[in-house]
Chain A
């Protein structure tokens, strides 16, 4: 179930405010080239893009492990560069790679987090018990973290991030490297985090289904820039009602030019490799297919389907997301 988010009124400051944030690494490598976005309390905001798009650098800047070259970012109203301790106090991070003391028990890992984040020791034990039970870790939490399976360890890390009751939770590619079953279990668990009132989640991923399922809004990053930002449904709506896809046997550019000159495809049609993709509205897919046949183009296959976020990404960046990742 999705939470209704009222963006028209802001009873609190935005949980995350990012303005013209940029990072250039030595060697003039522009990882992030000036991005802007807000995340309101309770919102799940996804940053979508292939490896190298600038997602992890963005999270690094927000968690004050990467120094911004310019711009500002605030967590819960605290500037991450000028008030890093306050900004870190209101946030927790689930890192892409496991960052856990494997020789210590799960409980000890959670206790260390609680103490470093300044939680009241008197209530920490009860809170750990509550969180670990809700995540199905009750019987595992006293085992050394290194003896847990990959999925269990990931759940433990999520539990750890929640112990400090963060206002902002960063999930950096949380399901990378997990097998499909565990991945889906973890997605269920992350979806369940939405019910925690007021906690905002910033999720980076290159899995489209993950972004579609979990996020209220998405920013698509490409080469350090945000090239689109909206809800998954709105982003898909930009691609029309249906997609007609052609497999060109000749030069796809020539096929696309012919489709455009004959009025079958508009400017929103595009090619990737040998595939020509034509967004279609108002149930025009059948007419488009018929027109393609009439034009006797050099195509080996033609199909229709509903738009996906993959199409959005392809049109915005000219590269298939799953290939790039």
Chain B
């Protein structure tokens, strides 16, 4: 007996997935746009840090303008986790008072819900990072970025945001209530920031903390972003101790990419499992 095998052309399959992703992302974007706190609250602390606290530290510690640039990029390392964690919060709001169950009943792979939310989280993060950099430039903070440097900054920023959103989505799928989620945000978004070379190089940390900091994706992300925006190789050297900056940057990018892919996969798995009791 002949067996008839049917395959869906890749382009058709992509279109079939693109349409619901576009619908879901449009929905999430509309909900986000109607919740200004999601757009602006995560910006407050980093902007305060970059524009007020960094100049104050510079004056108090008698450092130079380079320190303000160092801190300006460091605050991006706070902005990304804060914003992605806020985006994760909206997943819980959806579940408690939104159309979460309706979406689970839709004839689409449930992983697309995570992907659509991620796309909007990335767009909002990009808006916030651009706003932060614009404020920093307006304040007279200097950046030294080549086109390839911007490329390193962009790719590392996107990958780190993907990974952090994966963390947020995973947490949102695991904890039942907003209160529990919010209680865990400082440990996930803020504590690593202090250890990852945001305010000072990790070489200034005690040896065991410096060793630990090398395992934080944020440490690699920040080192890459500073390399990209400031041409500063110190962060990468503190992690890898090599002389070839391209190799070090590639290795750190690999770490951030593994973090992004791993957390995205985990978040999709946890979400789809939590949707099926």
A binds B: yes
Residues of A within 8 A of B (CB): 25, 60, 63-67, 85-86, 88-89, 91-93, 95, 97, 99-104, 108-109, 112-113, 115-118, 160
Closest to A98 in B: B97
Return chain B residues, CB-CB under 8 Å to A100: 98-99, 102
Question: In the complex, which residues 82-124 of chain B have their Cβ closer than 8 Å to any Cβ of chain A?
Answer: 97-109
Inter-chain contacts of A118 with B (CB < 8 A): 107
Q: List 15 additional contacts besides A60-B277, A104-B30, A104-B31; criterion CB under 8 Å.
A: A64-B276, A65-B101, A65-B105, A65-B277, A66-B276, A66-B277, A67-B276, A89-B107, A91-B105, A101-B99, A102-B97, A103-B34, A115-B20, A115-B23, A117-B106
Q: How many A-B residue pairs have CB under 8 A?
A: 74
B108 engages A116 (CB within 8 Å): yes
Which of B19, B104, B107 contacts A86, CB < 8 Å? B107
Instruction: Assess whether B19 is in contact with A115, with CB atoms less than 8 Å apart.
Output: yes
Interface residues of B in 28-49 (CB under 8 A from A): 30-31, 34-35
Q: Smallest distance from the beta carbon of B131 to chain A beta carbons, Å?
A: 23
Q: Choose one: B31, B105, B108; the contact of A103 (CB below 8 Å).
A: B31
**Are B276 and A109 within 8 A (Cβ)?**
no
A89 surroundings in chain B (CB, below 8 A): 107
In contact, A112 and B105 (Cβ under 8 angstroms): no
- Which residue of A is nearest B30, CB measured? A104
Q: Which of B20, B35, B100, B105 contacts A93 (CB 8 A)?
A: B105
In the complex, are the beta carbons of B105 and A63 less than 8 A apart?
yes
| 4 A-B pairs closest in CB distance | A89-B107, A88-B107, A116-B106, A99-B101
Contact of B103 among A63, A86, A104, A116 (CB under 8 A): A116
Q: Return chain B residues, CB-CB under 8 Å to A64.
A: 276
Is B137 interfacial (CB-CB < 8 Å)?
A: no
Most buried by B among A66, A86, A95, A112: A112
Let me know if A95 and B101 touch, CB within 8 A. yes
Which A residues are CB-close (under 8 A) to B101? 65, 93, 95, 97, 99
Q: Compute how far the CA of A22 lies from the CA of B60 in the bound complex, rounded to whole angstroms.
A: 69
Which A residues touch B184, using CB under 8 A?
none
Instruction: Choose from A65, A99, A101 the contact partner of B276 (Cβ within 8 Å).
Output: A65
A112 near B34 with CB under 8 A, answer: no
- Interchain nearest-CB distance for B93 vs A (Å): 10
- Cβ distance B129 to chain A, nearest Cβ, rounded Å: 26
Distance in angstroms between the alpha carbons of A100 and B106 in the assembled complex: 13
CA distance A100 to B27 in the complex (A): 12
